[in-house]
Amino acid sequence: MELMSYRMKFFSQLRIVIVFLSSIVVCGFLISCSSNNKVTSGLLAPKPMEHSGGVIQVYSARTKGAKQAVSVHTWFSVKRANDSHYTSYEIIGWRLRRNDSALVVRETTPDRDWWGHQPKLLLDYREKDVDKLINKIEVAVENYEYKHEYRAYPGPNSNTFTATIARAVPELGLDLPSTAIGKDYKTFSHLVGRSASGGLQASLLGLLALTIGIEEGLELNVLGLNFEFDIFDFAVELPAIGRIGPDAAIVNRTNETESVPKQTIINTVN
């Protein structure tokens, strides 16, 4: 009887977990579909002919296929002062089938869509030291250790790349969303260290992690599913669903050299 009671209790708890995870996936898929209701592609980055100053931006967009229900793809786009173009840095897994590296560096539209999914602005940095920080970004990209490997889960993937670059440039204070699966990926030799925003993080291969920081607040990662309690912005972030509360886009624009319209995109979810 005791064994039967234990089994009943186990399966009852298992059903709760399955229902919870299924609800998250369904909600994530619905949010992914609704994210295209508002067109943001081509509207978030200042045009080089209208803004001569330097710019560092970070974007996210829902991924392709079934993964879109739970995860986003992220990338960096930068423009030095007086440049006439943006350079984007990202990891694209399928590139490994044709090349020896998944790292993609290209001059392209920074705020483009990703497989039809609209981009969301995570960071917009235009301070006086922007060109110096771009130098640090370029060095971090060159030294990225996972160029030649890719795993969608738990990493290293595109979000691992973005988080790694952000750790090398803590001045940006980048807070990646809970839907950026892979951002917490670290090997055993880097169990404890800096988070993407410059906070403190302990992570076991991105499968179990705890992060504390001004930007993140308190964040718990269980099997790649992130739960963030942003106590400073009065918001929470949930797996697949993303952010619920005030928008988290970090905007630093004290170095404006022209009067540039500031598009404010307020979303409650990622």
Q: What is the pLDDT of residues 137-190, one digit of tens each?
A: 999 999 999 999 999 999 999 999 999 999 999 999 999 999 999 999 999 888
Parent domain of 238? 2-252
Please report whether residue 235 resides in a domain: yes
Please report whether residue 268 resides in a domain: no
Task: Name the more confident of 213 and 37.
Answer: 213
What is the spatial distance between Cα 239 and Cα 179, in angstroms, rounded to a whole number? 6
Question: Residue 8 CB: number of other CB atoms within 10 A?
Answer: 10
What is the spatial distance between Cα 211 and Cα 184, in angstroms, rounded to a whole number? 9
Residue 253 above 50 pLDDT?
yes
CB contact at 8 A, 99 and 58: no
What is the spatial distance between Cα 7 and Cα 251, in angstroms, rounded to a whole number? 52
Please report whether residue 262 resides in a domain: no
- Which strands, in side-by-side order, build the sheet including 55-62? 103-107, 87-91, 72-79, 55-62, 120-125, 250-252
Please report whether residue 260 resides in a domain: no
Residue 260 above 60 pLDDT?
no
Which whole number is the average pLDDT over 213-238?
92
DSSP type of residue 239: T
Which whole number is the average pLDDT over 104-111?
96
- Model confidence at 265, pLDDT cuts 50, 70, 90, reads very low
According to the model, what pLDDT value does residue 35 have?
A: 62
What is the spatial distance between Cα 221 and Cα 248, in angstroms, rounded to a whole number? 19
Total number of domains constituting the chain:
1
Please report whether residue 259 resides in a domain: no
Least confident of 32-41, 165-174, 199-208: 32-41
